[in-house]
């Protein structure tokens, strides 16, 4: 599955921490969350994103895929990204 970002999400870096702002909601990105956000571009599938996370953090693909899917679901529920059909 491929996803695209909501164009109304704004990123801000404050004191070295990355925040995503959407309407009146603020989300703090950790290192892996920020990487996943950067990889969402309606070109990469969730499996491709998981493969990159797996390689960069030296974890199994299955573990990375599970975590990536969970996080993409969170971002979708927060209306920060949406599934591309």
- H/E/C letters for each residue in 7-62? CCCEEEEECCEEEEEECCEEEEECHHHHHHHHHCCCCCEHHHHHHHHHHHHCCCHH
Would you state the pLDDT for residue 5?
96
pLDDT of residue 85: 76
pLDDT tens for the 85 residues of the chain, in order? 999 999 999 999 999 999 999 999 999 999 999 999 999 998 999 999 999 999 999 999 999 999 999 999 999 999 999 999 7
What is the fold, at CATH topology level, of the domain defined by 2-80?
Answer: Arc Repressor Mutant, subunit A (1.10.10)
Q: What is the pTM of this model?
A: 0.91
């Amino acid at each position: 599955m491929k996803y695209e970002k909501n164009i109304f999400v704004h990123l801000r870096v404050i004191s070295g921490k990355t925040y995503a702002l959407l309407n009146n909601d603020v989300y703090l990105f950790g290192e892996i969350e920020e990487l996943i956000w950067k990889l969402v571009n309606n070109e990469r599938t969730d499996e491709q994103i998981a493969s990159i996370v797996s390689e960069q953090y030296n974890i199994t693909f299955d573990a990375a895929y599970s975590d990536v899917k969970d996080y993409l679901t969170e971002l979708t529920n927060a209306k920060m990204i949406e599934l591309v059909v």
